[in-house]
C-alpha cells in the first residue's frame, strides 16, 4: 500500500499548477522585457502591445529597468518552476519594482495592475514555494561573474549596435566593445548617438553591469550550503550494514564514497546514498541493509527529494531493487544494461571460447610480466604509495571518473579487504621509476565476504597491450586462495540490445537501435565494453534505472554523465596539473556508464 504522502510526492507539480505557470510566465515576460529594452523596432511592433501590460518599462531610462527586470525574471524562472523559496522571495520583490516602473515612467496603469496581479498570485500560493536550496559553494560566485560578464558583454554589443540610424560616424568593432566595457562600469564610451539614444544605451549598459555586480556579490556572501559528505558516523553505520547485508548487491561498497550523502530508515536498518547533480537526486545501486527496512529508507529519500524539489532517480539497481522502488513509490523502471558476473568455480581458460584470452595471457607472460594479487592490507606502505601515484598519473584526465561503480580511493586503511592486482616488469637498462616496476593495476572492492567488484583499471601505455585481460585472469585464478567465489567485472549498457541486434533474424527496429549504439560507442565505448566483458564468459545480471516521468530521462541522463565525469561543467583549471613525460592516457576506469577502455586483440 503506497502512503498518501508518497503519492503526492510522486505526482509532483501538475502542468497546470501555479509554480509551473508562474515559471513559464516569468520566462516569457523576461524575454519580452529584454527585447523591449534592447531593440527599438520592437517598441513599435504589434508584440509591443503585449509588453505594455507586462512587468517592465520601455522609456529612455525605463529601458534599463525593463532590461534588468527581464534578465532577473529569466534567472528566477527555473527556480520558480522548482518551487524554490528563495526564487519566490526574489520574484515577490521584483514584481512591485516592475509595477512602479510601469506607473511612474510609462504611466501604464494596466501594466502596473498586471504586475500586482502576478504578485498577488505568488502571495496567494506562497505555500507551494517551500523547496529548500540546493547544495552550493562560493565558487558559484566566480562562475556567475564569468558567465554574467560574458553575457553582459554580448548583450551589450547588441544594444550598442541596435541603433544604426542614430550612430554618429562609423565606429569600428573595437570602438563598440570599448563602449560596452565603459558602459558596464557606468562611464561614457567612444560611440556617440543622435538624440536621447545615448541615454538609453548608457542606462541599459549600466543596468547590465549593476546586475552582474549585485548577483556576484549576493552569491559570494550568501550562507553557504556545501555539497554533502559522509560523516565518520554515517560511514561507520554504513559499514555495519554492509557487514551484515553487503553480500546482496555488488555495488554496496560503493555507497562508501565520501562525496555522497545518506538517508537512513527510521529503524536505522537500511540506507540510501545519493548525490545531487543539477537538481537530480541520484542514487546508485540498491538500498543498503535489511530488505525489510528498505521501504523506510526509500520513503526518507523521497521526502528529501520533495523538500528540495529534486528529481529522484536511481541508477543501476538490481531487479529486486527495482521491484521495491517501483512498488513503494510508483516510479517507473527501465532496463539500462547488464552486469557481468563471473562465478570463480566455473571459470577456466580451457576451451575454444577462451582461446583468444588464453593466447593473449600466455604471450604476455612469455614477455616477462608477472602478476601479484593481494589484499590491500597486505601491501607495504611503499607499495601502496607507488600504486596510488601510478593510478593518479595514469588517469589521463584531471577529472576522476566514476560514481556508481567507483570508490574514488585506493589503499585507504578502512578498505583493507579490497583486492589489488598488479602487473610487474623491470625496465632493462633503466633506473626504477616512481612506480617501481608496476606496469598495470586493477582494484576490486569487497562484495560481502565471498565476492569482489571491479572498481578501476589503470596501466602504463608503454606496457604491452592485454594488461587488462592478464590481470583479470590473474585475479580470477587467485580468488580461491582469497576465499572469493564471485567477481563482478563491470556494467555493460544496453547489452541485450547489442546481443539481439547482431543475431540472424533481428528486425529492422532492433538493427537500427543497435546501429545507433555502435555509433555512440565511438565516444562512450558501449559495444567494445560489452565485447570485452563477454570474453570471460560471465553470467549477465540486469540493472535498471528508476525514474518518475519519461520526460525526466534526458535530465537524469545528463546528471548521471556529470556524476560519472563524462560531462564537466566546472570551471577550467587556470594551472592544469602537470604529468610525467612518460604519462599516457589510461586504459580503463570501470564505471556504470563505461569509461575509457583500451580493448585490443593480441
Q: Which SS3 state, helix, strand or coil, does residue 211 take? A: helix
Phi, psi of 442 (to 5 degrees): -130, 145
Averaged pLDDT, 208-213 = 81
Locate 385 and state its grid cell: 604509495
The rounded distance, in Å, linking the Cα atoms of 350 and 397 is 38
Question: Which candidate, 489, 461, 469, places its Cα nearest to that of 364?
Answer: 469
pLDDT-based confidence at residue 224 (cuts at 50, 70, 90): low
Average pLDDT, the chain: 78
Distance CA 108, CA 99 (A): 9
Cell, residue 314? 536511481
With a CB cutoff of 8 Å and minimum separation 6, the contacts of 99 are: 55, 111, 112, 113, 115, 116, 119
Angle between the N-to-C axes of helices 173-184 and 197-221, in degrees from 0 to 180, rounded to the nearest 10? 60
Query: Is residue 375 classed exposed, middle or buried when 0-12, 13-18 and 19+ CB atoms within 10 A define those classes?
Result: middle
- Residue 264 has a pLDDT of 95
| Residue 579 confidence (pLDDT) | 44
Cell of 490: 563491470
Spatial distance between the Cα atoms of 171 and 178, rounded to a whole number of angstroms: 10
Identify the DSSP state of 121.
Answer: H
Strands 438-447 and 451-459: antiparallel
Residue 578, classified by CB atoms within 10 Å of its CB into exposed (0-12), middle (13-18) or buried (19+), is exposed
In 222-270, where does DSSP find H-type helix? Answer: 232-245
pLDDT in tens, 169-197: 888 888 888 888 888 887 788 888 887 77
Residue that the C-alpha cell 540486469 belongs to: 542
Q: How far is CA 292 from the centre of its chain?
A: 31
Residues with Cβ < 8 Å from 555, sequence gap 6 or more?
278, 279, 280, 311
Q: Cell for 240?
A: 555495519
The half-sphere exposure of 239 on its side-chain side, counting CA atoms within 13 A, is 14
DSSP code at position 131: B
Task: Specify the DSSP element, H or E, that contains 268.
Answer: none
CA distance readout (Å), 114 to 63, 96, 119, 594:
19, 10, 9, 52
Question: Using one digit for the tens of pLDDT, what is the confidence trace for 342-375?
Answer: 999 999 999 888 999 999 999 999 988 999 999 9
CATH superfamily of 348-486: Gcn5-related N-acetyltransferase (GNAT) (3.40.630.30)
Crossing angle of the two packed helices 18-38 and 139-161, in degrees rounded to 10? 40
Q: Residue 144: what pLDDT?
A: 76
State whether the Cα torsion 95-101-106-112 is positive or negative.
Answer: positive
Query: What is the phi/psi pair of residue 399, to 5°?
Result: -95, 125
| Half-sphere exposure in the Cβ direction for 185 (13 Å, CA) | 8
pLDDT tens track for 9-45: 334 444 447 777 777 777 776 666 666 556 655 555 5
Structural domain boundaries in the chain: 11-43+55-221, 348-486
Cell numbers for 567: 560531462
- Looking up cell 561543467, which residue turns up? 569
Q: pLDDT at residue 447 above 70?
A: yes
Instruction: Measure the CA–CA gap between 240 and 281, rounded to whole angstroms.
Output: 24
Q: pLDDT by residue (tens digit) across 467-499?
A: 989 999 999 999 999 999 999 998 888 887 777
Band of the pLDDT at 167, cuts 50, 70, 90? confident
- Cα atoms in the 13 Å half-sphere on the side-chain side of 79: 18
Q: Is residue 585 a contact partner of residue 398, using CB atoms and an 8 Å limit?
A: no
C-beta separation of 328 from 293 below 8 A: no
Which residue, 241, 245, 249, is CA-closest to 543? Answer: 249
Q: Over the stretch 499-549, which tens digit does the pLDDT of each residue have?
A: 777 766 677 777 787 777 777 767 667 777 888 888 999 999 999 999 999
Count of CB atoms situated within 10 Å of the CB of 186:
12
Listed residue (197, 185, 535, 182) closest to 351, CA to CA: 535
Geometric angle at alpha carbon 84, from 81 and 90, rounded to 5°: 100
Per-residue HEC secondary structure of 161-226 comes to HCCHHHECCCCCHHHHHHHHHHHHCCCCCCCCECCCHHHHHHHHHHHHHHHHHHHHHHHHHCCCCC
CA distance 582 to 150: 38
Residue 594 CA to residue 402 CA, distance in Å, equals: 9
pLDDT digits (tens, 9 = 90+) for 63-86: 666 667 677 777 777 778 778 877
Extract the C-alpha cell encoding 447.
Answer: 562484495
Q: Are 181 and 150 in contact (CB under 8 A)?
A: no
The average pLDDT across 413-429 equals: 87
What pLDDT does residue 37 have?
A: 56
The answer to whether the CB of 500 falls within 8 A of the CB of 506 is yes
Amino acid at each position: 500500500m503506497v502512503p498518501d504522502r508518497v503519492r503526492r510526492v510522486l505526482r509532483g507539480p501538475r502542468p497546470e499548477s501555479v509554480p509551473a505557470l508562474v515559471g513559464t510566465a516569468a520566462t516569457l515576460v523576461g524575454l519580452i522585457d529584454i527585447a523591449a529594452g534592447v531593440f527599438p523596432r520592437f517598441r513599435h511592433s504589434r508584440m509591443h502591445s503585449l509588453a505594455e501590460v507586462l512587468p517592465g518599462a520601455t522609456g529612455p531610462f525605463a529601458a534599463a529597468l525593463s532590461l534588468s527586470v527581464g534578465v532577473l525574471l529569466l534567472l528566477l524562472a527555473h527556480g520558480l518552476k522548482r518551487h524554490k523559496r528563495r526564487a519566490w522571495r526574489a520574484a515577490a520583490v521584483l514584481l512591485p519594482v516592475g509595477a512602479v516602473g510601469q506607473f511612474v515612467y510609462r504611466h501604464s496603469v494596466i501594466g502596473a495592475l498586471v504586475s500586482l496581479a502576478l504578485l498577488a498570485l505568488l502571495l496567494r500560493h506562497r505555500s507551494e514555494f517551500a523547496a529548500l536550496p540546493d547544495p552550493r559553494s562560493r565558487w558559484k560566485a566566480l562562475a556567475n561573474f564569468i558567465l554574467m560578464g560574458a553575457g553582459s558583454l554580448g548583450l551589450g554589443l547588441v544594444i550598442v549596435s541596435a541603433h544604426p540610424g542614430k550612430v554618429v560616424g562609423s565606429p569600428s568593432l573595437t570602438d563598440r566593445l570599448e563602449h560596452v566595457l565603459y558602459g558596464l562600469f557606468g562611464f561614457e564610451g567612444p560611440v556617440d548617438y543622435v538624440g536621447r539614444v545615448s541615454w538609453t544605451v548608457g542606462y541599459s549598459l549600466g543596468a547590465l553591469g549593476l546586475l552582474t555586480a549585485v548577483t556576484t556579490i549576493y552569491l559570494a556572501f550568501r550562507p553557504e550550503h556545501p555539497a554533502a559528505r559522509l560523516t565518520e558516523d554515517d560511514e561507520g553505520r554504513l559499514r555495519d550494514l554492509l557487514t551484515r547485508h553487503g553480500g546482496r548487491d555488488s555495488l554496496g561498497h560503493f555507497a562508501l564514497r565520501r562525496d555522497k550523502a545518506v538517508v537512513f530508515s527510521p529503524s536505522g536498518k537500511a540506507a540510501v546514498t545519493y548525490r545531487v547533480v543539477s537538481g537530480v537526486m541520484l542514487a546508485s545501486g540498491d538500498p543498503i541493509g535489511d530488505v525489510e527496512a528498505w521501504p523506510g529508507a526509500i520513503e526518507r529519500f523521497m521526502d528529501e527529494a520533495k523538500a528540495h524539489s529534486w528529481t529522484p532517480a536511481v541508477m543501476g539497481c538490481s531487479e529486486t531493487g527495482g521491484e521495491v522502488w517501483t512498488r513503494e513509490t510508483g516510479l517507473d523502471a527501465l532496463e539500462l544494461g547488464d552486469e557481468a558476473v563471473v562465478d570463480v568455480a566455473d571459470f577456466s581458460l580451457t576451451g575454444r571460447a577462451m582461446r583468444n584470452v588464453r593466447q593473449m595471457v600466455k604471450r604476455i607472460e612469455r614477455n616477462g610480466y608477472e602478476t601479484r594479487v593481494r589484499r590491500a592490507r597486505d601491501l607495504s606502505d611503499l607499495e601502496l604509495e607507488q600504486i596510488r601515484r601510478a593510478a593518479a598519473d595514469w588517469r589521463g584526465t584531471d577529472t576522476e571518473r566514476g560514481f556508481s561503480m567507483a570508490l574514488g580511493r585506493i589503499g585507504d586503511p578502512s578498505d583493507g579487504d579490497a583486492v589489488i592486482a598488479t602487473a610487474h616488469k623491470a625496465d632493462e637498462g633503466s633506473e626504477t621509476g616512481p612506480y617501481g616496476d608496476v606496469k598495470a593495476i586493477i582494484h576490486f572492492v569487497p562484495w560481502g565476504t565471498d565476492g569482489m567488484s571491479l572498481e578501476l583499471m589503470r596501466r602504463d601505455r608503454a606496457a604491452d597491450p592485454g594488461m587488462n585481460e592478464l590481470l583479470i585472469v590473474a585475479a580470477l585464478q587467485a580468488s580461491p586462495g582469497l576465499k572469493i567465489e564471485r567477481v563482478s567485472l563491470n556494467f555493460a549498457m544496453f547489452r541485450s540490445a547489442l546481443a539481439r541486434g547482431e543475431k540472424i533474424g533481428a528486425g529492422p527496429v532492433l538493427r537500427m537501435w543497435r546501429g545507433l549504439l555502435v555509433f555512440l560507442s565511438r565516444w562512450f565505448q558501449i559495444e567494445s565494453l560489452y565485447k570485452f566483458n563477454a570474453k570471460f564468459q560471465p553470467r549477465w545480471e540486469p540493472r535498471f534505472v528508476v525514474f518518475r516521468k519519461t520526460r525526466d530521462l534526458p535530465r537524469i541522463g545528463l546528471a548521471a554523465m556529470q556524476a560519472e565525469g563524462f560531462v564537466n561543467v566546472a570551471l577550467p583549471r587556470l594551472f592544469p596539473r602537470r604529468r610525467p613525460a612518460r604519462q599516457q592516457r589510461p586504459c580503463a576506469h570501470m564505471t556504470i556508464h563505461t569509461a575509457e577502455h583500451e580493448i585490443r586483440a593480441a
